[in-house]
Amino acid sequence: MRLMASIEPVRWGILSTANINRLVIPGLQTSPVTELLAVASRDESRAQQYAEQWRIPRAYGSYEALLADPDVEAVYIPLPNAMHVEWSIRALEAGKHVLCEKPLGRDPAEVERAFEIAGANEKLLMEAFMWRFHPQTLHLQLLVETLSPISLIDAKFGFTAQNDGDVRLSRELGGGALMDVGCYCISAARLLAGEPERVVGRQKIGGDGVDVHFNGELFFANGVQATFECGLDMKEIDELRVDGEGGSVYLDDPWHGREPVIVLMTPLETREIRESGIDAYQAEVENFSRAARGLELPFLGREDALGQARTIDALYRSAEAGGQEVQIASS
């Protein structure tokens, strides 16, 4: 049984009335280690309405105003991707801990700068990859060890973005399939195989100039090859398969884990391993809050976010060069 130290709840603020908040707010409002204190929107009346709807005590008509509230200790940033690094840095400089939605950034130098500013201000910065907090993911890691050595990883994540105003279809706002959903496939490959050395990417452009479909291959020093396909133009698909010497594992819903089940296939058996579902968003904000109080290490840190950015950057460079192989610089 886990021993839970009783801690003063960390007081949180949210920058924007983003759609994803509806999945994060319940955990923030029920956990004993968090208190949701404030929300900000670009529009004052939207902030007020949103605060009433979600019973959030304080509403601000600008992100700056929320960052100026001395009672807010940690900020959750679910802004469009192109705004992640800028607002993470602004929040860190205002003395807040920052949990920023994925992907933190696609430029490794910018991501590195954000972590340097976090360090200089003695604040936490974490890229919010909630799938990493799901027990299904932890179980996956253990099972993959038993199949070792692994040779192939294949991941898929796609759906249809239908709304013309969707931030995912805007180049200016950092949209695109690789940024939105492909980053999960990369996260899985890196979790299971380490840092890739070389990548190949191919993209189909749509929206207002974003990759609406992206296929990639990642090559690792240990011989593992990972392939992935992601899209904003696909029927809903979420899959992960790993092949190793000892057999294979297949996950039908690796990223959300709504009804988590891992299929294990070995020469001796095929078995379904069911997990209990949990609120992975709550697990994420709880780990972050305990880390902010110095009681735990943050589950995801600088190296992970940097590895993500380096891989995304290399994949886009490969796709822009028509699918040429690109080496990833490790520092």
Ligand X SMILES: NC(=O)c1ccc[n+]([C@@H]2O[C@H](COP(=O)([O-])OP(=O)(O)OC[C@H]3O[C@@H](n4cnc5c(N)ncnc54)[C@H](OP(=O)(O)O)[C@@H]3O)[C@@H](O)[C@H]2O)c1
Would you tell me which residues interact with ligand X (CB under 6 A)?
16-20, 41-43, 46, 78-81, 101-102, 128, 130, 167, 173, 180
Q: Which one, 169 or 200, has the nearer CB to ligand X?
A: 169
Least Å from the CB of residue 307 to ligand X: 18
Least Å from the CB of residue 34 to ligand X: 17
Residue for token pair 């594992």: 249
| Residues 102, 18 contacting (CB under 8 angstroms) | no
- Shortest CA distance to 264 belongs to which of 277, 251, 253? 251
Least Å from the CB of residue 172 to ligand X: 8
- Report residue 45 as tokens: 């009346």
Q: Which one, 154 or 238, has the nearer CB to ligand X?
A: 238
| Residues 81, 183 contacting (CB under 8 angstroms) | no
Q: Which one, 147 or 188, has the nearer CB to ligand X?
A: 188
Least Å from the CB of residue 175 to ligand X: 9
Handedness of CA 24, 182, 146, 249 (dihedral sign): positive
Give the distance from CA 108 to its chain's centroid. Answer: 16
d(CA 176, CA 170): 7
- Report residue 13 as tokens: 């603020």
Residues carrying an active site annotation: 102
Neighbours of 158 (CB within 10 A): 24
Give the DSSP per-residue string, 64-109. HHHHT-TT--EEEE---GGGHHHHHHHHHHTT-EEEEESP--S-HH
Least Å from the CB of residue 54 to ligand X: 12
Q: Which one, 105 or 246, has the nearer CB to ligand X?
A: 105
Burial readout 218-237 (b: 16 or more C-beta within 10 A, e: otherwise): bbbeeebbbbbbbbbebeee
- Report residue 70 as tokens: 């001395």
Q: Which one, 19 or 222, has the nearer CB to ligand X?
A: 19
Least Å from the CB of residue 84 to ligand X: 6
d(CA 231, CA 180): 9
Q: Which one, 16 or 248, has the nearer CB to ligand X?
A: 16
